[in-house]
């Protein structure tokens, strides 16, 4: 057995994706941690969404650290990550900080220029991190280590990319490194849910998505037997009954999906699969396959319908039709599988009025198809140009001014971005629909979280939302302004109370 030497600690840190985010499962860190020899290295994962004293832990665990690892996505997580990295630099200035995740992977050179960034891992990080740890431990040069960007004598060195590797080559996720119970989502109806990933990458080239740049349009999925064995492990060891599938595209390989479902049925696992990312052309699969998926516990699909406008679908290279959305909704209604419909408004070079009208019509028709058969949720966003996507340059040509530094990306948030080519009234309408009207129309709202003293005001807002949707009259949204005011007030009061509790 190899003995642990000085500087054998590897500290992996998961920053908060949002200011109020709690109980997130740090899958990105667990994925790279599984590649480490635990007999040789002491691995610590610090999760800022579960550890209230995570900053103190960083200082405590940082002694004799070989390196720190931070994973982050665009927006608020960058802010929390940089705050954490600043603490590290003050206390351990000579210990390298390694960054990974979507944002550093897509803008590695801009990221590594920041004073709190020493090394960036690009793309799939498992094998790269394993080799990086070995070189850091040996004091070897980072030259020709595929998949990294790093600083060398005040110069930036961008090594060649690493090819995507079959994830079946990687060990299982080491759940023992975290407080898993704190990452389980629970509700009063007995749901115990946890995030799960069975594949990486996506073979499609949707123009709004940065995944094609991240994975080079490569996809790799765990074998069916391993997927079901891992689900069974989580069921038996953590009493999980619901899995939120975080794959970028779960349904790439039809044969694999059928084997997974058949094996779940054979093992008699009583589970639900929710939030499973799907394209609308899934409707072309046979009814037998759909029935098998439902019998295996497929409870909800996250359907990337994107728009009710065919012009938009063509622009983003979706390779589906608007009618495919309706076919998919009919299949879901027929087999009792709930829907979470993901849509966006405000694509560059597209007539915003027409795409908005057509998207509202699409939602209305889907709701009618599914009425009294299945539950429907609707996520409606304003198009946001993320780096690495095919439409990014088009957005810049249409007036978008991207952040110029890594630090500036911390304020680039999905629900705050306002494209210069979209009129203010459509920005307000999209937010009004997403945050207010569609929640009530689809019954996707929890009154307990929206009222301040009684349920009566919330009931009034609900009635107004339903009437507005029925008559498609969205002007003068007074009740929405009231809704926003009280939600904002509730958050401020909650924050003050939390500060008072912390001060005691």
Instruction: Indicate the burial class of 281 (C-beta count within 10 angstroms; 0-12, 13-18, 19 or more).
Output: middle
In sequence order, the 6+-apart residues with CB closer than 8 A to the CB of 380 are 343, 344, 345, 359, 363, 430, 433, 434, 438
**pLDDT of amino acid 312:** 98
User: What pLDDT is attached to residue 41?
Assistant: 96
The total of structural domains in the chain comes to: 3
| Full residue range of the structural domain in which residue 462 is found | 446-504
The answer to the question of residue 342 being in a domain is yes
pLDDT reported for residue 456: 52
- Residue 261 falls inside a structural domain: yes
Per-residue pLDDT of the chain (504 residues; tens, 9 = 90+): 445 555 689 999 999 999 889 999 999 999 999 999 999 999 999 999 999 899 999 999 998 899 999 999 999 999 999 999 999 999 999 999 999 999 999 999 999 999 999 999 999 999 999 999 999 999 999 999 999 999 998 899 999 999 999 999 999 999 999 999 999 999 888 899 999 999 999 999 999 999 988 898 999 999 999 999 999 999 999 999 999 999 999 999 999 999 999 999 999 999 999 999 999 999 999 999 999 999 999 999 999 999 999 999 999 999 999 999 999 999 999 999 999 999 999 999 999 999 999 999 999 999 999 999 999 999 999 999 999 899 999 999 999 999 999 999 999 988 889 999 999 999 999 999 998 899 889 866 544 444 444 455 677 888 888 999 999 999 988 887 877 777 677 667 766 666 566 555
**Quick check: is 165 in a domain?**
no
Interacting residues of 438 by C-beta distance below 8 A, sequence separation 6+: 363, 378, 380, 444, 469
- The answer to whether residues 472 and 371 belong to one domain is no
Q: Does residue 241 share a domain with residue 323?
A: yes
Asked if residue 115 and residue 246 are part of one domain, the reply reads: no
Does residue 172 lie in a domain region? no
Q: CA-to-CA distance for 275 and 196, rounded, in angstroms?
A: 11
**327 and 364 share one domain:** yes
- 363 and 291, same domain (yes or no): yes
Angle at 376 between CA 374 and CA 380, to 5 degrees: 170
430 and 285 in one domain? yes
Considering the domain architecture, whether residues 131 and 202 belong to the same structural domain is answered as no
**Alpha helices of 316-413 — where are they, by DSSP H?**
322-335, 352-370, 392-397
Residues 110 and 206 in one domain: no
Q: Are residues 291 and 320 in the same domain?
A: yes
Give the pLDDT of residue 451.
43
* Same domain flag for 27 and 144: yes
- Indicate whether 379 and 433 sit together in one domain: yes
Question: Do 240 and 348 have their domain in common?
Answer: yes
pTM of the model as a whole: 0.92
Is residue 89 in some structural domain? yes
| CATH, residue 128 | 3.40.50.2300
Which helix (H) or strand (E) covers residue 157, if one does? strand 155-158
Contacts of 276 (CB under 8 A, 6+ apart): 245, 247, 250, 251, 298, 300, 301, 302
Q: What is the CATH number of the domain that holds 431?
A: 3.20.20.70
């Amino acid at each position: 057995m190899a003995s642990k030497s000085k500087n054998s600690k590897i500290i992996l840190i998961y920053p908060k994706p949002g200011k109020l985010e709690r109980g997130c499962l740090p899958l990105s860190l667990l994925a790279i941690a599984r590649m480490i020899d635990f007999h040789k290295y002491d691995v610590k994962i610090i999760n800022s969404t579960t550890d209230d004293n995570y900053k103190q832990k960083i200082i405590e665990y940082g002694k004799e650290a070989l390196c720190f690892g931070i994973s982050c996505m665009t927006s608020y997580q960058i802010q929390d990550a940089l705050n954490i990295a600043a603490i590290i630099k003050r206390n351990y200035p000579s210990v390298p900080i390694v960054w990974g995740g979507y944002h550093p992977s897509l803008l590695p050179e801009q990221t590594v220029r920041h004073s709190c960034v020493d090394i960036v891992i690009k793309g799939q990080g498992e094998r790269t991190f394993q080799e990086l740890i070995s070189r850091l431990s040996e004091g070897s040069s980072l030259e020709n280590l595929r998949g990294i960007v790093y600083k060398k004598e005040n110069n930036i060195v961008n090594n060649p990319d690493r090819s995507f590797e079959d994830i079946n080559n990687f060990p299982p996720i080491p759940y023992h490194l975290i407080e898993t119970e704190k990452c389980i989502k629970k509700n009063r109806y007995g749901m115990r849910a946890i995030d799960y990933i069975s594949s990486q990458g996506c073979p499609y080239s949707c123009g709004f998505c940065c995944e094609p740049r991240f994975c080079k349009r490569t996809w790799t999925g765990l074998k069916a037997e391993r997927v079901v064995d891992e689900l069974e492990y989580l069921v038996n060891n953590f009493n999980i009954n619901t899995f939120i599938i975080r794959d970028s595209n779960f349904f790439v390989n039809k044969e694999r999906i059928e084997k997974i479902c058949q094996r779940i049925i054979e093992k008699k696992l009583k589970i639900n699969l929710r939030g499973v990312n799907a394209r609308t052309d899934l409707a072309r699969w046979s009814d037998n396959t759909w029935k098998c998926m439902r019998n295996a516990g497929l409870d909800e699909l996250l359907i990337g319908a994107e728009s009710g406008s065919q012009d938009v679908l063509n622009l983003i290279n979706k390779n589906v039709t608007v009618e495919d959305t309706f076919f998919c909704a009919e299949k879901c209604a027929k087999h009792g599988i709930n829907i979470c419909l993901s849509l966006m408004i405000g694509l560059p070079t597209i007539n915003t009025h027409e795409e908005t009208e057509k998207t509202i019509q699409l939602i209305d028709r889907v709701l009618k198809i599914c009425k009294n058969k299945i539950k429907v949720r609707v996520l409606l966003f304003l198009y946001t140009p993320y780096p690495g996507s095919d439409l990014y340059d088009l957005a810049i040509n249409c007036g978008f001014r991207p952040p110029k530094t890594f630090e500036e990306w911390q304020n680039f948030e999905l629900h705050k971005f306002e494209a210069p080519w979209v009129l203010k009234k459509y920005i307000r309408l999209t937010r009004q629909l997403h945050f207010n009207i569609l929640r009530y129309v689809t019954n996707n709202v929890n009154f307990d979280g929206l009222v301040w003293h009684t349920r009566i005001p919330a009931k009034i807002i609900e009635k107004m939302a339903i009437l507005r949707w029925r008559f498609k009259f969205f002007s003068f949204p007074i009740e929405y302004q009231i809704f926003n005011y009280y939600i904002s007030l509730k958050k401020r009061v909650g924050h003050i109370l939390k500060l008072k509790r912390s001060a005691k």
